[in-house]
């Protein structure tokens, strides 16, 4: 599948848009890249089941680059809760490895799409309703954060997202401000992406009929174009996150997630 000009334009546009949204909402970009990459690959003759898996894996790989660009902008403003990053990261690496290197390859693409839709829809509802946690509720201790990180990493590995669709609502539910949660989620995107990308490369290494330029399930030409564009706009999104009112930021987060959930639900049900 050659990188003709139209395809390069589509991937570059996707990279610019997802980089901005990653910085704005801390969702790593994978929540946007997955559905659109599925559409792009399917339109070019990749079988639906394989297209979903390649889209998920490639979108996760781009987060390695996007998260670094985004978190630098958030860190400069003192918004990243590094204590939470340290608490969640070990579980995230373990959970992501289990999902991407094992469970991911065993599940059908349509099943993964339905998982994606279900968890994204749930996260969108939690964010839209803006339920206030009890003032006394705080982040759990070491064991609780290890377990929570495992769940976040595992779900991220299944759907190819940076974990913000779970980690941001989780942190907000424990009285972490939405701005700190978005910034911290951006920082968590790096260990999530690194662990899961290694898993996708390993689990996809023996798959037949992958398009040229594939490394396991990761399609390297798309990764190169999307990543090089997304790192340009991630800092811009991060700056906007610090300017938007909290309530508006939550609503934007929720509506973006609802749109993606609907698309992936349709993909999972009808191919």
**Residue extents of the structural domains in the chain:** 5-270
Query: What is the reported pLDDT for 72?
Result: 84
pTM of the entire predicted model: 0.73
Q: CA–CA separation, 55 vs 95, rounded Å?
A: 20
pLDDT tens sequence across 97-131: 888 777 777 777 778 778 778 877 877 787 777 66
Measured between its terminal Cα atoms, the distance across the chain in Å is 21
pLDDT tens sequence across 64-89: 887 887 788 888 888 899 999 999 99
Angle in degrees, 0-180, between the axes of helices 142-159 and 164-172, rounded to the nearest 10: 150
Among left, alpha and beta (phi > 0; psi -120 to 50; other), residue 163 is left
């Amino acid at each position: 599948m050659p990188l003709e000009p139209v395809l390069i334009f589509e991937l570059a546009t996707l990279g610019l848009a997802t980089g901005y949204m990653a910085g704005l909402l801390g969702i790593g970009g994978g929540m946007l890249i997955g559905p659109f990459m599925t559409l792009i690959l399917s339109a070019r003759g990749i079988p639906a089941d394989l297209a979903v898996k390649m889209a998920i894996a490639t979108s996760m790989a781009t987060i390695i680059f996007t998260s670094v660009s985004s978190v630098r902008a958030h860190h400069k403003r003192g918004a990243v809760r590094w204590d939470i990053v340290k608490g969640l990261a070990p579980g995230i690496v373990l959970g992501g490895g289990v999902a991407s290197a094992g469970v991911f390859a065993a599940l059908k693409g349509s099943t993964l799409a339905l998982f994606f839709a279900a968890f994204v829809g749930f996260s969108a509802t939690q964010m839209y309703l803006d339920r206030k946690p009890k003032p006394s509720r705080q982040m759990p201790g070491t064991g609780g954060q290890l377990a929570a990180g495992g769940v976040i990493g595992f779900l991220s590995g299944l759907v190819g997202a940076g974990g913000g669709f779970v980690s941001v609502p989780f942190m907000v539910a424990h009285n972490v401000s939405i701005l700190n949660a978005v910034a911290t989620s951006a920082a968590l995107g790096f260990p999530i992406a690194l662990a899961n990308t290694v898993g996708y490369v390993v689990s996809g290494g023996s798959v037949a009929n992958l398009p040229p330029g594939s490394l396991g399930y990761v399609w390297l030409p798309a990764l190169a174009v999307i990543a090089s564009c997304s790192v340009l706009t991630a800092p811009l999104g991060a700056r906007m996150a610090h300017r938007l009112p909290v309530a508006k930021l939550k609503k934007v987060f929720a509506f973006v997630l609802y749109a993606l959930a609907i698309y992936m639900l349709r993909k999972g049900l009808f191919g």
